[in-house]
Amino acid sequence: MNYSVTVLPGDGVGPEVIAEATKVLKAVEGQFGHSFDLSYGSVGGNAIDSHGTALPDETAELCENTGAILFGAVGGPKWDDPSAAVRPEDGILAIRKMLGLFANLRPVRVYPELINSSPIKPHLLEGVDMVVVRELTGGLYFATPKRRWQTSRGRRGVDTLRYTEAEIARIVRAGFELAMGRRKLLTSVDKANVLESSRLWREIADEVSADYPDVELEHVLVDNAAMQLIRNPAHFDVIVAENTFGDILTDEASVLSGSMGMLPSASLAGLPGSSGRRRRRAVSLYEPIHGTAPDIAGQGVANPIGAILSMALMLRYSFGLEDEARAVEDAVSGVLAEGYRTPDIAGDSGDIVSTTELGGVIAGRI
Ligand code: IPM
Ligand code: MG
């Protein structure tokens, strides 16, 4: 089969890790007899430099007319001026909104070989296997008013946390659907003791739960969830959370796996096969959860595993290539078991290899 993929490497370590993901994709192509047609576009800081905007029209067009998007990372100190009119992050936020990618799946697993790379005590990490479902196109990130202005009594800034019933219902439903195929525990995270939007979130989660009698629904306040993620991470199965809460909790959760560089994500317009996927031909986006890591960019030491595992999620969710996705995931487990490590996951053991070497050995195992 022929598949088209739009590749947006972005800034910082983005191009380095995406080069390894496409290297492994080429290995899948060779081994399984598919053809992946890659189109590259600019996004983020480099697009601001070349086009004056974080999402040039031609990149937006590439995103709309493709089978799936493989995304690196955007941002960096060069574009960090708080008074700048355009920011690199606008690029990814605009794509999420444009394509209606409301469901961001962030699987968190702990590879036994990396237990010592995490600062968390080993016995707490046994059996950790969860998916965080982060709402991605609403909440504090997108609702308006959102602005800064000057008043006679000084400067003010406002962001708005607003959700509609429909927005909450579809993301909570995505959480239930995922939980159905797993351990059947859904943890809904909110701040219902303080926030009205959270009280609505909780009410709707309870209503939707009537359609999923086999799934246990629990409500956990976000501050407590942050603590439980460290105290008892193996408890969690599927977590569903507001955009900002999900952003924060997944950086925290990545510490369980040993490094930010390990975690992949899939941003979907609905779960495959579910009624949420109403667009005629939904395009999904796959990106590691890490940022551009400007401190290590260009040194060949970035961990490409989050990007490679994101590509595996693309094979699974966008193209239905389950065996191929498994082959990539098994190759990652295999090289970790053999002891290959980038510095972030080296701990006190393992062979330290470069970004391209790690990508190469993973590609070699497909
Ligand atoms: C993430 C990132 C982005 C976000 C930034 C780069 C806008 O932190 O994907 O988690 O906040 O969503
Ligand atoms: Mg983040």
Q: What does the pLDDT look like over 26-83, one tens digit per residue? A: 999 999 999 999 999 999 999 999 999 999 999 999 999 999 999 999 999 999 998 8
Please name which ligand lies nearest the alpha carbon of 134: 1
Indicate the pTM of the whole model: 0.95
User: Within this chain, do residues 250 and 232 fall inside the same structural domain, yes or no?
Assistant: yes
Which residues have a catalytic role annotated?
141, 191, 223, 247, 251
Q: How far is the centre of ligand 2, averaged over its atoms, from the C-alpha of 249 (Å)?
A: 9
Smallest CA-to-CA distance from 249 within 241, 260, 257 is with 241
Specify if 112 maps to a domain.
no
Q: How far is the C-alpha of 177 from the C-alpha of 215, rounded, in Å?
A: 9
At residue 29, the 3 state secondary structure works out as helix
Strands (E), the chain: 2-10, 35-40, 68-73, 103-109, 129-135, 147-151, 154-158, 185-190, 216-221, 238-241, 266-268, 284-286, 340-341, 351-352
Q: Grade residue 350 by pLDDT with cuts at 50, 70 and 90.
A: confident
User: Within this chain, do residues 307 and 344 fall inside the same structural domain, yes or no?
Assistant: yes
User: Within this chain, do residues 150 and 102 fall inside the same structural domain, yes or no?
Assistant: no
Scan for tokens 């008013």, then name that residue. 145
Of residues 350 and 166, which shows the higher confidence score?
A: 166
Domain-ending residue, one of 191, 226, 257: 257
Domain ranges, residue 276: 1-107+263-366
Question: Residues lining ligand 1, CB < 6 A?
Answer: 75, 89, 92-93, 247, 289, 291
Residue 249: CATH number of its domain: 3.40.718.10
Q: Which residues have CB under 8 Å from 161's CB, separation 6+?
A: 139, 140, 143, 195, 197, 242, 244
Q: Indicate whether 276 pLDDT > 50.
A: no
Q: Whose CA is nearest to atom 5 of ligand 1?
A: 89
Q: How far is the centre of ligand 2, averaged over its atoms, from the C-alpha of 245 (Å)?
A: 10
Interval 149-179: pLDDT, tens: 999 999 999 999 999 999 999 999 999 999 9
CB 234 within 8 A of CB 115: no
Interval 185-209: pLDDT, tens: 999 999 999 999 999 999 999 999 9
Q: Whose CA is nearest to atom 11 of ligand 1?
A: 247
Atom of ligand 1 nearest to the CA of 93: 7
At residue 246, the 3 state secondary structure works out as helix
Specify if 292 maps to a domain.
yes
Number of domain units in the chain: 2
Q: Whose CA is nearest to atom 12 of ligand 1?
A: 247
Q: Which of 43, 89, 136, 310 to mutate to test the pocket of ligand 1 (most atoms within 8 A of CB)?
A: 89
At residue 155, the 3 state secondary structure works out as strand
User: Within this chain, do residues 269 and 240 fall inside the same structural domain, yes or no?
Assistant: no
